[in-house]
Chains A and B, each alone.
Chain A
Amino acid sequence: MMIKLKKVLTLRTIVATSAGLTLASSSFVAAIQMAGFLAGDSAWIAIMVGGMLCLGAGACFSELNGMLPSAAGIRLYFGRAFGDTVALAVSLLYMFVVMCVVGAESYVLGNILSEALPVVAPVVWILFMFVVVTLMNIRGIRLAGNFQDMVTYGLMVSLIVLAFVGFYHTGFRFTTPVAPGGIVPVINAVAVGVFLYVGFEWVTPLAEEVTESRLIARGMLVAVGLLSIIYSLITMAMTSAVPREAIAGSPVPLLVFARYVLGEAGVLWAVVICLASSITTFNAGLISVSRFFYASARENVLPRVFSKISMRYFTPWVAILGVLAVALIVSMLVLITGRYLVLLNTAAAMESIVYAMSGAAVLVLRKKSPGLPRPYIVAGGAAVPVLTIAVFFLLALSVMAFDPVTAVSILAGLGISFWYVMKVVPVLKEKNSARRPAARRRPAPVSESQPEAIPAGTDTGSKPEKV
């Protein structure tokens, strides 16, 4: 059925949303971390490989999204494919990981701002950012579509220009750009490099705002392609222009690079880039997770208190404050321990698990629901989904193998999540069913004497009535 809507999104906005959610200040940290596995300036190889693998996952998401266009996203796809318990447990953990990414992002941005303005400590910047974003969320303020497009495309152009400034600075000289130093370093780099693309599929909730679901597929694929090129250029520029020891392990590599090639003007440029990168990720992360909290509370999967709504702004204020609290705690823990890389690795591993599951969901649903309309089908039969499952499963294992803390976090997270879904959720559901009115409001149907259905659009002789 073709449904017309007053407002529909264009490909330009879909690409901007997908890329904008992915580009973050912490992405530059991950880029340098992945470059650390490889020899010379060959990080672009791992970035391109990571991008191509994400295109496979993107194709799987496109098939799922075409079949089930809904803001519920993985909760719905995995629910249909693997059952509600698995879908809920994975979604809950995934949302928790997103909150951790928001925490890590605030830590990185706090450090960048503090580097530019040393009189203000990172903790002050972090608190300031959280308060601003929370107030924006509670008041229901969103970036206007056109403004967001402008910010994202401006950011992409700015990164490309900055990369070429770096290349010019080094006289376009690169160290072993095509010799990464072996297959194992490449695998490790790609595993971490998945973080660079975290969130490109968060654009699928927009499926309900387009009338042509193939646009979402096209938008995701274009965004991943653009991101691969931009990340490759800026990472090569950073590794070729700045000595490795000056940039490795820094929470602010882009700023170090910009200062190295352009002095204090570069610092200002890097601050603007990082602010623009963070604003979309930060805001979208908080909005998505708080809406998920709210919907889960409405479904009696989380405590009822999270479904409370601000009567003034129509926003789920308790859910927003709950997300703020968790992200703030994560941020403070990172500030105290300085172990922000664990969060990036955990996010990369969790994202790989979700991508692998998306491949599996495509195959399961092709068998389980062959009749569902599929406006987009991954080409090549089962090859791409099978490859997506195998590759991302291996990448998740690879991240966990070189970072035991990540392995423990993911396994403990999955254990707690499944325990919560199997033990706590039934209690919450039972409590709620006891609270609901015993009698249904809908009158029982009068059997055998129901009036005939009135066909859609039939003039019933009545004017639009105000009830």
Chain B
Amino acid sequence: MATHQEITDSLKAFAEGYNSNKRLQTMNRDWNRVIQVLTTDIESAHTLELKDGELRFWEGAADKPDLTVLADSETLADMFYGDITPTEPYMNGTLKIMGSEDDIVRLDFISLLIWGE
């Protein structure tokens, strides 16, 4: 089981990877979204906000997110660090993402472009 701090660190690594990729920022400049990250096994919530191509995050839940990412703490920490792709836990039901299908695919693309295969 990962801790809240580990998830925070993984999101920090994810956000650093994103914000250091100028091309990714340009590609997402029109994709303004609020993404909530919740865990199923510990009490932990984070919010990611993509606005004008920039990504920032903070601890705590969002009021009305566009997307909600829900998984156990281990899966979330591994996924945001890029040690696993989101696809496998998504396909076996460990990872749930609530939101529009296009947004879900876009989130996976971002992860692919930050961490590679």
Taking beta carbons and an 8 Å cutoff, which residues of A are in contact with B? Answer: 1, 3-7, 68-72, 75-76, 79-80, 84, 140, 142, 205-206, 208-209, 211, 291, 294-295, 298-299, 304, 307, 309, 311-312, 314, 432, 435-436, 440-443, 445, 450-460, 462-467
Say whether B99 contacts A467, CB under 8 Å. Answer: no
Size class of the contact patch on chain B: 35 or more
Say whether B98 contacts A5, CB under 8 Å. Answer: yes
Say whether A464 contacts B49, CB under 8 Å. Answer: yes
**Shortest Cβ gap from A197 to chain B (Å):** 22
Say whether B101 contacts A442, CB under 8 Å. Answer: no
Q: Is the interface of B mostly helix, strand, loop or mixed?
A: mixed
Q: Given the known inter-chain contacts A299-B88, A435-B117, A442-B81, please indicate yes or no for A456 contacting B61, CB distance below 8 A.
A: yes
CA distance A385 to B81 in the complex (A): 42
| CB nearest neighbor in B for A76 | B93
Say whether B93 contacts A70, CB under 8 Å. Answer: yes
CA distance A312 to B27 in the complex (A): 7
**Shortest Cβ gap from B82 to chain A (Å):** 6
For B23, list chain A residues within 8 Å (CB): 311
Tell which of B78, B87, B100 touches A209, judged by Cβ atoms closer than 8 Å. Answer: B100
0 or 1 for each of B100-111: is its CB under 8 Å from A? (1 = yes): 111011101100
User: Which residues 39-74 of B sit at the A interface, judged by CB distance below 8 A?
Assistant: 42-45, 47, 49, 54-61, 63-68, 70
CA distance A84 to B38 in the complex (A): 27
**Shortest Cβ gap from A427 to chain B (Å):** 16
Say whether A208 contacts B15, CB under 8 Å. Answer: no
For B55, list chain A residues within 8 Å (CB): 466-467
Say whether A208 contacts B99, CB under 8 Å. Answer: yes
CA distance A75 to B115 in the complex (A): 25
| CB nearest neighbor in A for B24 | A311
For B65, list chain A residues within 8 Å (CB): 4-6
Say whether A7 contacts B42, CB under 8 Å. Answer: no
Say whether A205 contacts B101, CB under 8 Å. Answer: yes
Say whether A208 contacts B3, CB under 8 Å. Answer: no
Say whether B91 contacts A72, CB under 8 Å. Answer: yes
Say whether A208 contacts B104, CB under 8 Å. Answer: yes
Tell which of B19, B44, B57, B82 touches A464, judged by Cβ atoms closer than 8 Å. Answer: B57
**Shortest Cβ gap from A392 to chain B (Å):** 24
Q: Given the known inter-chain contacts A453-B3, A453-B4, please indicate yes or no for A7 contacting B100, CB distance below 8 A.
A: yes
Q: Given the known inter-chain contacts A307-B112, A435-B117, please indicate yes or no for A3 contacting B83, CB distance below 8 A.
A: no
For B100, list chain A residues within 8 Å (CB): 7, 208-209
Tell which of A208, A295, A465 touches B58, judged by Cβ atoms closer than 8 Å. Answer: A465
Known pairs A7-B66, A440-B78, A464-B47 / 5 extra A-B pairs, C-beta < 8 Å: A6-B64, A208-B96, A208-B100, A442-B81, A454-B44
| CB nearest neighbor in B for A145 | B100
For B9, list chain A residues within 8 Å (CB): 443
**Shortest Cβ gap from A149 to chain B (Å):** 16
Say whether B58 contacts A464, CB under 8 Å. Answer: yes
Tell which of A69, A75, A456 touches B44, judged by Cβ atoms closer than 8 Å. Answer: A456
For A142, list chain B residues within 8 Å (CB): 102
CA distance A84 to B88 in the complex (A): 11
